Each structure stands twice: as structure tokens, then as C-alpha cells.
Structure 1
Amino acid sequence: MASFFGGGAAGGGGGSGVQDQQQRKDQLKQQIQVELATANAQMLINKMNEHCFEKCVTKPSTSLGSSEQACLSRCTALYAQAFDHISQKYYQRVMKEASSTPEASLEAQRL
């Protein structure tokens, strides 16, 4: 008898179907994680650009002045530092939780 999910016979040899299904599930999870990370990075860059532009470019013109360029450089550097700091703290928290719970351990393995 064929399996509902297209695996083989119901009584034997169905292990590879389960493995294939798990592999597809893992690949889908990984793809979703990559897409979420990409979306988060794009959102961060957009917010950084918007915030720094509003803060540093008070009189838009055809080119940036040296003070505007310096301000934009400082502003983007601060955003990058803040992002790095938050990312490190998040990673440390996940690793700490991973040592105490099996579910968090799985999350830590994905990072």
C-alpha cells in the first residue's frame, strides 16, 4: 500500500521518505531564515539611510558638503556599531539559553 505522502509501502522501506521530508523541511526553514535575515538587513539599511539623511543633510542640493559627508560617515558608523553590539548580545543570550533548554539549543545551532 502506498503512503499518503508518496513514501513507499506502508509496512516497510518508508524511512527514506521520512528523511526526504525532514530534509525538505530543513531546507525550507533555512531558506526562510535567509530571507528574513535579508529583509532585516534591508530594513536596517533603509532606516539608517533615512535617519542619517534627515539628521545630516539639512539643505539638499546637487552635492554633499564636507560637513554633511562627515556627519553621514559618523552616523552610519554608529548604526553599524549599535547593530554589532546588539547582535553580539543576542547571540550570547541564545547561547546561554541553549545550555539550559533543548529548544534554545536547536535555535543556537541555526545561528
Structure 2
Amino acid sequence: MSSIFGGSGSSSTDAAPPKDLNARKEAVMASVRNELALANAQELINKTNDKCFAKCVTKPSTSLSSSEETCLSRCFDRYMEAFNIISHTYAARLTKERLEGQV
């Protein structure tokens, strides 16, 4: 009998082996994790740009002065340093909690 998707009825030979299914599941999960990491990085950069621009560029014009460029560079560097410290600390905490949970 045909299914609504155009194939024949399912049988035991149509089902994917569990290993193949698990591999596809892991691949999809890895892809989603990568997409989330990219979205988080983009959000961090956008927020950093907004906050640093508001702080450093008090009188917007057609170009940046050297002091505005310096301020923007330092502001962005500070945000990235803080982000790196927080993310490393968070990752270490997660690892520690996972190891403690396995004991």
C-alpha cells in the first residue's frame, strides 16, 4: 500500500539501523550547537558595537576622530576580555559539575 509521501508501506527493512539514526541525530545536534554559537557571537558583537558606539561617539559625524577610534578599540577589547573570562569560567564550572555528577 502507498503512503501519502509516495513510498510503499513501511517494513522492517525500510527503518534506519539504530547506529545510523544515532549518527544523524548527533550530526543534527552538532549543527544546531554550531548555529547557536554563531548566533551568540553575532549578538555579542552587535551589543558590544552598540554599547561602545554610544559610549565613545558622542557627536556622530561622517568620520571617526582618532580618540573615538582608540576609545572604540579599547571598549571592544574590554568586552571581549570579559566575555572570554566569563565563558572560560562557565565552561570550567560545567566540566566540574559533570565530573562530580559521574562519581
TM-score (norm: length of structure 2): 0.84
In structure 2, stretches of 5+ residues that fail to align are 1-9
Answer 1 or 2: higher relative contact order, Cα 8 Å, separation at least 6: 2
> What is the percent sequence identity of the aligned residues?
48
Secondary structure of the structure 2 residue equivalent to 1:100: helix
2:11 aligns to what?
Answer: 2
Q: Does residue 43 of the first structure (1) align with residue 43 of the second (2)?
A: yes
Q: CA deviation at 1:2?
A: 2.2
Aligned to 1:24: 24
Deviations 1:57-82 (A, max 9, x none): 01111111111011101100000100
> Aligned equivalents of 2:39 and 2:101: distance in 1?
28
- In the other structure, the counterpart of 2:69 is 69
Partner Cα separation in structure 1 for residue 84 and residue 78 of structure 2: 10
SS of equivalent to 2:17: helix
Runs of 4+ with deviation above 2 angstroms: none
**Other-structure match for 2:3:** none
Report the number of matched residues: 93
SS of equivalent to 1:78: helix
Query: In the alignment, which residue of structure 2 is the partner of 1:108?
Result: none
Aligned to 1:13: none
